[in-house]
Structure formats: C-alpha cells, structure tokens
C-alpha cells in the first residue's frame, strides 16, 4: 500500500485538543452510574470487576448444570440461515430486474439483496396468513423453485464489467485499521447471534413480538386480535417467527428461528456499513463503522432480547444508503429511487415510528431536492417525479400491512390516528390513555439536557466509541456535505424522538447505523500517524469495554451455551406460576393483568392493558357495576373452558403506578367474594411461589351447580 503524500493529512491540527476531549469524554463515560443496577456502581467499577474476575463473566454463559455446549441451536440457526439465503436470492433477482446489480460492489449486492428479499419474504408470509394458508407449509415454500430459477438466470446473464461505475476503487490510504480488524467484528457478531438464539426473556417480546405469531400459527391464519392491540400493528419483522413456526410445525422452535433472524439483521447492517464506508469515505472507515456498530451494547441488547428496533435500523440505513447513491448516480437513477422507497416501506412494515423516522425525512429531503435544490444545482432530468416514485415504492413495501389493518381494524395505522380513522374496539377514552402514556409531556430545558446526556453518555448500553468518533467526523475536511447531511439526519431522529415519540432510549436506536457511519468517517478525520496510534488504542480499549458490557447481564440475557431444554423452564426466565399452570391446568387459564403469556403451553385467555378486560366482562354486572350472580359467573367460566384464573398483582400495581389503563374494578375484595361464594378456590402457594406477587385460583368443581 502506498504511503500518503506529506500534504494529504500527515499532520493533525488540533490533535492535542482532540485527545484531551476524548479523554474527558471517557472519564464521564466511565463515571456514569449504571441505572440498570440501581445506580449502585459506576460503569467503570462494574466493568473493572469483570476485567479483574473474568471467570465471573464467563460463568454466566454456561449451564447451571455444567453440561457441555449443546448442539440444539443447529436447527433454528440452519432454518434461519436458509430463509436468509432464499431472501437474498430473491432480492438479487429484484436488483437484476432493476439493472442496478451491475452498479454495485459485491458487498452492496449482498446487502441490498438481503434487505429487499427479507421484506418480500415477510410480505409473502403476511399474504399467505391473511388467506388462511398457514396450516400448510407448502404455500410458503411454493415460491422457492421460482426464486432459485430466477436467481441462477440473473447470475448467468450478468457479465463482469470491471469496477462499478457508481463505486470507483478508492484511492490508497494510510489505513489505521485494515481488513484484518474485521475478525473483531466477527467476534461481536458471533455473540449477537448466540444471544438471538436464546428463548425470549423480555416483556414486549413475550407479550406480542412472539405471542402474536404464536396465535396466528395456532389459528392457521392472520386475523384481528381483539385482546392484543399490539398484535394488530405492523409486524413485518415478526413474520419471520411465524414463517419459522409454520416451516417447523412447532411454535417454540419457530419462535427461536424468528428471534435468530432478528439477530441476523445486526451483522447484515454491519455489512452495509462496511460497504458504505468504502464508497463514501475510505476502506478503513467502513471497517471501523462495522466494528463500532456491532460492538455497541445496544445492538446486543436489542438482538438478544428480540426487540425489532435493530431491524428498523437496518431498513432506515438501507433506504438512506440507496438514496445517497441515487443522488450521485448518472445511470439507473430511477431504479435507485425505487429501491430506497421500497426499503423505507420495509421500515414502516416493521414499526409505525418509521413513518416519522424514515419515510417523512427521506421524502421531505426529496421534495427539497425537487423544489429547491433543482433550481440551485441544475437537478436531474425528470426529477420532479422523484417524490412520487419514492412514495409509490414505499407503499409497495408496507401497503399490505396498511390494507390489512384498514379491512380488519377499520384503521390503516391502528391504533394510531384514531381521530382520523377510528378503529375497531377503540374508543376516545382508550385513545386518550394511549396518548397519555406514549407521548412526551415535559418540554423543559432541564428535561432536554437530561435526555441528551443519556443519548450521548448516560445510557447503560452505549458504546464509548460511537459518539466521540461520530463527533470527530465534523472535523474532517473530506466529504463535508455528506457528513453534515448524515449528522443533520441523526439530529432529526433525536429531535423527533424527543418531541413526538415515547422517550424510551430504545426508540432512538434505529439511528445507530447513521451514527456508526459517521464514526467511520470521524475515525479518518486525520490521516497522519500521530492520530493512527491513539485511534488503534481507543478502538482496542473501547471494544474490550463493549465486550464486557454486551456479554454480561443485565445488558443481555446471556446463558449462551446452556441447553435450550433447560432454558425453556428455567426459573430465572419463566414465572414459577406459569410453570405450575403448564403442569396442572386442565383447561384454559384466564389471565388477569398478565399479558406476557408466550411461555404458557396451555390455552390462555388474556388481554393487554388497554384492551377490554375479559375477566371484568365475565364477572361484572354492567347495570349495577357490582358482581353478577355467582351462578351466572360459574356458567360463563365453564362455557369458556376455564379451569384456572391467574391474577398478576405485580403487573397490576405497575400499570396503576404508570397510568396504564383503568384497573379500578380489579381489587382483592372481588376475588375474596368469588372465593366466599364458591366460584373460585385459591391455590395454596408453595415456598417457591410465595415470593411472586400473584395468585392463582381454581374454578371450583361445584361452580356450575347453579346452572
């Protein structure tokens, strides 16, 4: 590799100031209290403990029984990999049809093919589910021969034409981190996948990310769920779990397939960052961006627990990437625009917040290019159609979800925009409660400062690399316009998150790929050796810190090598009462206040916090507001096949404390009276069950006597 010329950046003006600022940031970063641990330890103390006693960390990864690393991950991983491969081949056929496969590098072809194909596979699963075809896996497998034929035909027809026109070979650079560093990214990717293959251990995942596909699988079709409002939202990422369930004929292993695929989106995003860094900055910028992204503990947290925000982040980045290529393309510009719009639609298909974080800003930027930038810069022939092409492609990416909800729920964005569309089972009171919980209400300077500090420094699962390196991108003299545009986009995401969305940290994490690409650009703000050695030290130390954070509890659920059979009923993951019900319930279980019901293997009747209370509907007299006669309640319980009633008082207390719903009717006195009248019989808690703030009741054997 050639040495850079002396005037190409061998000096680093202001390097001492940069190093001082980095050191100060790291001091604040390490001194930040760990909120997930109650603030008892500073981040540096917690990390130092594991660095001094690494066996304390490694011991968390293995089985409590000390068994050898199991091979039971082979099946879910193999199926996930097969679906990913089929999706990639399908996506490549689309790229070839758009004739942009020849305008990309090999990395870009893999990245965009997988991104497009995964949304197509998700949409096909939705279509089959809406038509009631989930009872036969052949409906889902039917396109596979066509995909294989189309893929091999597209590959055969492609002719190598040298370096892609839109991605000229980058100039030689004094690389601070070469491709050899990618093994570091590989280590992080491995643990992310190991975390993704674990059973779910988080509320939202067990409430609807996996529970909704489980119910669709059991019913053999996708339909409206009146008892689970979240199961009626756009579930593009969750369709992979449903696909796994149908292919394997098992909801449990199929759920692990879906969760593993969600984890696979992280290395896929890193692959895109590697390609984007090479295209827009320099080869080492791509390497650093990929490492920074995969090593960020937030990515492990999202992947190991099964959240879909990382999937949304991939589509956000892919849509932005395609739009940036469109901006500089002299050929196939319309195809790149369609690709960007479709990927933006894929983001909306995963989560409605993508309308705010992806579709609106990218579409707005296109409008600006058409009505302002064209006069200023000359524009492109026919660029006045750009916003329409983008919008049409975006609708293709998410339109089936909007249509499904419009037909089944009466609202394409159910349960949002109630004032505009209404919605099945929704009321003005429910809409008001939803808004009270999900919209920010405090807009003070102090609140803004606290939240920005959390984004930049304080969040437990933040990386010491991503923010400071991204900030350094603003010092670079190369690619100033691109850097400022990416920075503006990330600022927009944070601004939209703070002003319009739920201010949970997880909601801004889809912007992490943008920040990671900026970090790659910031790492090469200076090409001199005086900066390269501190950068290598910073990357090495930062990766070590991140590895400790992202492989330790509570950042991740981390028994990476424990047998799945053991984890399926592990006491630290499954509520002991749920295990009791799985073993003893002779019929359906009516859940009161409990919505994370995925691990229950018996029939369950439940509702989420804002859906109509099924228990209240059964026992409450709508005219008097009191209890119905005991005989009527008993008849209703028996008619529904209910053998047990489970009351999650801990969840009910949490809902009341946070303003989630109206729980005024659900009181201990109600259950005491049902026991006194012979409708219910309390199940005596064992020593294991006494610690849980919950009660279980049997439906009394003679409860139907008054029928």
Summarised one tens digit per residue, pLDDT across range 14-53 is 899 999 999 999 999 999 999 998 888 999 999 999 999 9
Summarised one tens digit per residue, pLDDT across range 290-305 is 999 999 999 999 999 9
- Taking the C-alpha atoms of residue 646 and residue 644, their distance in angstroms, rounded to an integer, is 7
pLDDT of residue 66: 59
Reduce the secondary structure of 611-644 to three states and give it as a string: CCCHHHHHHECCCCCCECCHHHHHHHHHHCCEEE
- Taking the C-alpha atoms of residue 201 and residue 652, their distance in angstroms, rounded to an integer, is 20
- Taking the C-alpha atoms of residue 695 and residue 580, their distance in angstroms, rounded to an integer, is 12
Nearest to 412 by CA among 398, 428, 397, 425: 398
pLDDT of residue 1: 40
pLDDT of residue 69: 67
Greater model confidence, 405 or 528:
405
Summarised one tens digit per residue, pLDDT across range 641-672 is 999 999 999 999 999 998 898 899 999 999 99
β-pair partners for 33:
42
Nearest to 268 by CA among 290, 240, 247, 242: 290
pTM to 2 decimal places: 0.94
pLDDT of residue 139: 95
Name every residue whose Cβ is closer than 8 Å to that of residue 4 and which is 6 or more positions away in sequence. 10, 172, 173, 174, 527
User: Quick one: angle between helices 360-368 and 333-350, nearest 10?
Assistant: 150
Summarised one tens digit per residue, pLDDT across range 419-459 is 999 999 999 999 999 998 888 889 999 999 999 999 999 99
Q: What percent of the chain has pLDDT over 70?
A: 92
pLDDT of residue 706: 41
- How do the residues of the chain divide into helix, strand and coil, expressed in percent and rounded to 5? 65, 5, 30
Among 83-87, 155-159, 219-223, 518-522, where is mean pLDDT lowest?
155-159
- Cα 14 to Cα 22, 530, 672: the distances in Å are 12, 11, 73
pLDDT of residue 690: 64
- Taking the C-alpha atoms of residue 384 and residue 334, their distance in angstroms, rounded to an integer, is 11
Greater model confidence, 451 or 707:
451
pLDDT at 464 over 90: yes
Average pLDDT over the chain reads: 91
Quote the Cα angle for 561-564-565, to 5°.
135
Summarised one tens digit per residue, pLDDT across range 310-360 is 999 999 999 999 999 998 877 788 899 999 999 999 999 999 999 999 999
pLDDT of residue 8: 43
pLDDT at 162 over 80: no
Q: Parse the chain into domains and list their residue ranges.
A: 13-551, 574-699
Nearest to 77 by CA among 258, 242, 269, 226: 258
- Taking the C-alpha atoms of residue 470 and residue 483, their distance in angstroms, rounded to an integer, is 9
- Taking the C-alpha atoms of residue 63 and residue 188, their distance in angstroms, rounded to an integer, is 21
Given a contact cutoff of 8 angstroms between Cβ atoms, the answer to whether 690 and 617 are in contact is: no
Nearest to 458 by CA among 41, 34, 20: 34
Query: What average pLDDT does this structure show over 74-102?
Result: 96
Give residue 376's pLDDT band: very low, low, confident or very high (50, 70, 90): low
Give residue 688's pLDDT band: very low, low, confident or very high (50, 70, 90): confident
Quote the Cα angle for 191-197-200, to 5°.
115
Judging by DSSP bridges, how do beta strands 680-682 and 642-647 pair with one another? unpaired
Q: How many other C-beta atoms lie within 10 A of the C-beta of residue 469?
A: 28
> Number of helices (H) and strands (E), helices first, in the chain?
33, 5
Given a contact cutoff of 8 angstroms between Cβ atoms, the answer to whether 18 and 472 are in contact is: yes
pLDDT of residue 5: 40
Judging by DSSP bridges, how do beta strands 642-647 and 588-592 pair with one another? parallel
Q: Where are the alpha helices (DSSP H) in 410-552?
A: 418-421, 428-438, 445-453, 466-472, 480-500, 512-523, 529-551
Using CA of residue 454, residue 457, residue 463, residue 468, what is the dihedral sign?
A: positive
Given a contact cutoff of 8 angstroms between Cβ atoms, the answer to whether 240 and 83 are in contact is: yes
Q: How many other C-beta atoms lie within 10 A of the C-beta of residue 500?
A: 14
């Amino acid at each position: 590799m050639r040495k850079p010329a002396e005037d190409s950046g061998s000096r680093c003006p202001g390097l001492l100031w940069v190093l001082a600022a980095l050191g100060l940031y790291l001091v604040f970063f390490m001194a930040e209290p760990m909120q997930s641990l109650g603030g008892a330890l500073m981040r540096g103390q917690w990390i130092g403990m594991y660095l001094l006693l690494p066996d304390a960390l490694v011991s968390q990864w293995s089985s409590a029984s000390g068994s050898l690393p199991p091979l039971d991950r082979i099946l879910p991983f193999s199926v996930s990999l097969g679906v990913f491969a089929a999706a990639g081949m399908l996506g490549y056929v689309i790229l070839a049809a758009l004739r942009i496969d020849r305008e990309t590098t090999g990395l870009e072809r893999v990245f965009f093919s997988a991104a497009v194909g995964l949304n197509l596979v998700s949409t096909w699963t939705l279509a089959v589910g809406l038509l009631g075809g989930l009872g036969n896996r052949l409906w889902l497998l039917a396109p596979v021969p066509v995909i294989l034929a189309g893929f091999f035909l597209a590959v055969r027809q492609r002719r190598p034409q040298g370096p892609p026109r839109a991605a000229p070979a980058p100039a030689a650079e004094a690389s601070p981190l070469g491709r050899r560093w990618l093994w570091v990214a590989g280590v992080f990717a491995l643990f992310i996948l190991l975390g993704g293959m674990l059973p779910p251990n988080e509320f939202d995942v067990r409430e609807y990310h996996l529970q909704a596909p489980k119910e669709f699988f059991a019913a053999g079709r996708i339909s409206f769920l009146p008892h689970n409002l979240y199961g009626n939202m756009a579930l593009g990422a969750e369709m992979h779990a449903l696909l796994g369930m149908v292919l394997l004929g098992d909801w449990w292993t199929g759920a692990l397939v879906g969760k593993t695929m969600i984890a696979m989106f992280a290395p896929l995003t890193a692959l895109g960052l590697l390609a984007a860094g090479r295209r827009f900055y320099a080869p080492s910028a791509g390497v650093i961006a990929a490492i920074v992204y995969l090593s960020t503990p937030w990515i492990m947290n999202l992947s190991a627990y099964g959240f879909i925000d990382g999937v949304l982040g991939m589509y956000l980045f892919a849509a932005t990437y395609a739009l940036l290529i469109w901006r500089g393309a002299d050929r196939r510009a319309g195809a790149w625009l369609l690709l960007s719009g479709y990927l933006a639609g894929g983001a909306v298909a995963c989560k409605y917040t993508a309308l705010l974080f992806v579709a609106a800003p990218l579409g707005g930027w296109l409008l600006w290019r058409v009505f302002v930038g064209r006069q200023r810069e000359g524009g492109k022939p026919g660029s006045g159609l750009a916003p329409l092409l983008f919008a049409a492609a975006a609708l293709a990416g998410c339109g089936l979800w909007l249509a499904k909800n419009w037909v089944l729920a009466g609202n394409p964005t159910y349960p949002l925009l109630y004032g505009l569309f209404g919605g099945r089972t929704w009321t003005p009171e429910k809409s008001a409660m939803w808004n009270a919980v999900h919209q920010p209400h405090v807009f003070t300077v102090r609140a803004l400062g606290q939240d920005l500090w959390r984004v930049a420094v304080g969040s437990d699962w933040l990386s010491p690399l991503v923010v400071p390196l991204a900030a350094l991108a603003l010092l670079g003299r190369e690619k100033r316009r691109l850097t400022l545009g990416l920075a503006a986009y990330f600022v927009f995401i944070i601004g939209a998150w703070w002003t319009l969305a739920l201010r949970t940290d997880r909601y801004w994490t889809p912007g992490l790929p943008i920040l990671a690409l900026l970090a790659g650009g910031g790492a090469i703000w200076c090409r001199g050796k005086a900066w390269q050695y501190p950068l290598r030290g910073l990357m090495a130390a930062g990766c070590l810190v991140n590895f400790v954070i992202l492989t330790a509890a509570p950042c991740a659920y981390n028994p990476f090598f424990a047998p799945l059979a053991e984890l399926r009923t592990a006491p630290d993951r499954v509520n002991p009462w749920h295990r009791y019900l799985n073993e003893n319930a002779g019929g359906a279980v009516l859940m009161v206040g409990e919505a994370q019901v995925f691990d229950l293997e018996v029939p369950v009747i439940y509702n989420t916090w804002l859906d109509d209370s099924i228990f209240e509907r059964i026992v409450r007299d709508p005219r008097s507001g009191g209890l119905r006669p005991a005989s009527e309640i008993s008849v209703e319980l028996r008619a529904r096949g209910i053998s047990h009633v489970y009351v999650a008082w801990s969840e009910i207390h949490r809902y009341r404390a946070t303003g989630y719903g109206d729980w005024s009717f659900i009181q201990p006195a109600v259950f005491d009276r049902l026991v006194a009248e012979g409708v219910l019989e309390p199940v005596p808690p064992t020593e294991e069950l006494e610690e849980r703030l919950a009660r279980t009741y049997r439906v009394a054997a003679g409860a139907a006597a008054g029928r």
